[in-house]
Amino acid sequence: MTAMTDDSSRSADSVVLRDALSDPLSLSDEAVAAATRLPPLAAVHQLPAAEVDALAELWTSTRADSAATHPVLARLGPAAHRLRELRRAERTTTTCPVCCFDRLDEPPYLAFEGVPEAEGDRESLAPPYAIHFGDPSRRRCPCCGFGFGIDDDPVHGDETWTFQAWLRFWIERGASWHDSSRKPTQWTLAAQFAAAGRAEPAVTPTG
């Protein structure tokens, strides 16, 4: 009986949340569930573009009156606003978050603007990175070979890689290019990191 009561409560909550946003914006039960289960940006990325725009507009118009802001809108509104502004301003970057290669064919993650600096050996963010930056390109960096949405969110029980761990692994094995046809002449990793305003990692090749 307890399990049935818990399920019923969750269902009722979802209906109430949805009804509260039905005018002027209606969210599906799945969207409401995602709002309570996922980080805001990840939840917003699951919505159609029209709903993202509507959320952003509604949040902008109601945020001055916090008492009138529904909890779901308060949670998703800022993320929707940020995503809409990113799309309009095209502020996403095509720089690899691992090795700083700056000529990716598309952003590694849909709303990727850059990785916060790590503290020593501690990662600033934990994978999978789609939670923080939105949908991955599911392509590999031609320089270091990191697969966005592949190596940080593997299937079939494969090892999960962080940006820092992959960078160390790659450098230790000689920093060979994944696609050598994309390698600039006279390329150095130090220059690549310097161009991105980052210090080259203190990692020594082992082979």
Domain end (from 55, 89, 123) = 89
> pLDDT tens, 62-119?
765 654 567 888 888 888 887 777 666 555 678 999 999 999 998 898 878 777 665 5
Domain end (from 49, 72, 89) = 89
Instruction: Please report the pLDDT score of residue 69 as a whole number.
Output: 63
User: What is the span of the domain harbouring residue 43?
Assistant: 2-89
The CA distance from 105 to 102, in Å, is 9
Secondary structure of 126-173 as H, E, C letters:
CCCCHHHHCCECCCECCCCCCECCCCCCCCCCCCCCCHHHHHHHHHHC
The CA distance from 101 to 103, in Å, is 6
User: Angle 57-60-63 (CA atoms, 0-180°, nearest 5)?
Assistant: 140
Q: What is the largest CA-CA distance in the chain?
A: 70
Q: What percent of the chain has pLDDT over 90?
A: 33
Look at the chain and report how many structural domains it folds into: 2
Domain end (from 73, 89, 105) = 89
Instruction: Please report the pLDDT score of residue 147 as a whole number.
Output: 98
Which tops the pLDDT comparison, 4 or 171?
171
Running DSSP on this structure, what letter comes out for residue 64? T
Q: Are residues 133 and 205 in the same domain?
A: yes
pTM over 0.75: no
Average pLDDT over the chain, rounded to whole? 78
CA-based end-to-end distance of the chain: 61
Alpha-carbon distances of 137 from 47, 107, 133, 134, rounded to whole Å: 17, 7, 11, 10
Instruction: Please report the pLDDT score of residue 13 as a whole number.
Output: 42
